[in-house]
């Protein structure tokens, strides 16, 4: 039985401490949950990604009730990782909380002058754009310090500024981050016009590849088109993932509208030709979908 030093047991704990205690019980080798005991840091990854997308879905649906629930699921993932790491002697939840607190103070010198929370409240004249610039500069200092800690091994490996862009990221997000990192050292266009021209160039090369019938070349050129499109989104200050999810949602709504419209005519998709479907699509768009 859990002992907290208080007769009220778990109920006397703070919400976060209660969650940590429950996680510890779930991983108890004698009385815990068999499924939870089987999990590893690596095995949890698919579930974590799923929870992140469920949070995004709740936000896009403007469903705050669902968002509260999904954020709880996501928080549980963090607690789960912390518990496994604690069992391995690596770190625990307190270490995670301390690390992020220190990082936030360090990366917000305009809020905490000299990295001191006691200095909070001193007025600072700084724009949101300058905050972003400073943030990136501080992150680069942090990366440099990590490289220095690597010593001669890091030098021998000839580390690139792109090395710590996680390969496990979804391809679209990793492309954006690679572009953003390269831009920090000047490998970028200053204006959007050449970015748009580059996209047009890539589309033309894709058309040439398509005419050639070479599947591998077609795949490569299509990848270039996607990469250039993401770069255009970045220069337009648009999150490509958000833009695409929004488009997916519009497509879904319009497609369902067409299904209903066909149903009212006693038809299904196979009963209509492409011209009819295109006309219905335009009607769906005209409704504001």
Give pLDDT tens digits for 167-225: 878 899 999 999 999 998 899 999 999 999 999 999 999 999 999 999 999 999 999 99
Q: Is the dihedral of CA 156, 169, 96, 239 positive or negative?
A: positive
- Residue 248 sits at the vertex; the CA angle it makes with 246 and 249, to the nearest 5 degrees, is 65
- C-beta separation of 177 from 169 below 8 A: yes
Q: Is the dihedral of CA 77, 97, 82, 146 positive or negative?
A: positive
Retrieve residue 30's tokens: 């004698």
- C-beta separation of 79 from 20 below 8 A: yes
pLDDT value of position 158: 58
pLDDT value of position 149: 67
111-150 pLDDT tens trace? 888 778 887 888 777 888 788 778 778 887 887 777 776 6
pLDDT value of position 193: 96
Cα(215)–Cα(24) distance, rounded to whole angstroms?
A: 52
Answer whether 0.75 is exceeded by the pTM: no
Retrieve residue 173's tokens: 């997000």
Cα(176)–Cα(241) distance, rounded to whole angstroms?
A: 10
- Is residue 3 pLDDT above 90, yes or no? no
pLDDT value of position 110: 85
């Amino acid at each position: 039985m859990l002992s907290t030093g208080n007769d009220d047991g778990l109920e006397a704990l703070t919400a976060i401490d209660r969650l940590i205690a429950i996680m510890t019980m779930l991983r108890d080798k004698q009385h815990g949950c068999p499924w939870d005991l089987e999990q590893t840091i690596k095995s949890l990854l698919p579930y974590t990604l799923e929870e992140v997308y469920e949070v995004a879905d709740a936000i896009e649906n403007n469903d705050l009730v669902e968002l509260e629930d999904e954020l709880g699921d996501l928080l549980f993932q963090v607690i789960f990782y912390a518990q496994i790491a604690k069992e391995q002697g690596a770190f625990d939840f307190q270490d995670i909380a301390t690390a992020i607190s220190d990082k936030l103070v360090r990366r917000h010198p305009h809020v905490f002058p000299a990295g001191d929370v006691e200095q909070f409240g001193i007025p600072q004249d700084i724009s949101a754009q300058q905050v972003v610039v400073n943030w990136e500069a501080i992150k680069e200092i942090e990366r440099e310090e990590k490289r220095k800690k690597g010593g001669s091994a890091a030098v021998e490996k000839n580390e690139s500024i792109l090395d710590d862009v996680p390969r496990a990221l979804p391809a679209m997000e990793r492309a954006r981050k690679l572009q953003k990192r390269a831009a920090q050292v000047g490998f970028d266009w200053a204006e959007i016009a050449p970015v748009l021209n580059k996209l047009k160039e890539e589309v033309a090369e894709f058309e040439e590849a398509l005419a050639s019938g070479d599947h591998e070349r077609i795949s490569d050129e299509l990848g270039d088109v996607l990469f250039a499109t993401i770069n255009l989104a970045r220069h337009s200050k648009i999150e490509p993932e958000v833009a695409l999810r929004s488009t997916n949602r519009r497509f879904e709504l319009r497609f369902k509208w067409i299904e209903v419209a066909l149903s009212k005519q006693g038809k299904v998709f196979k009963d209509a030709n492409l011209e009819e479907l295109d006309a219905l699509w335009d009607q769906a768009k005209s409704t504001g979908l």
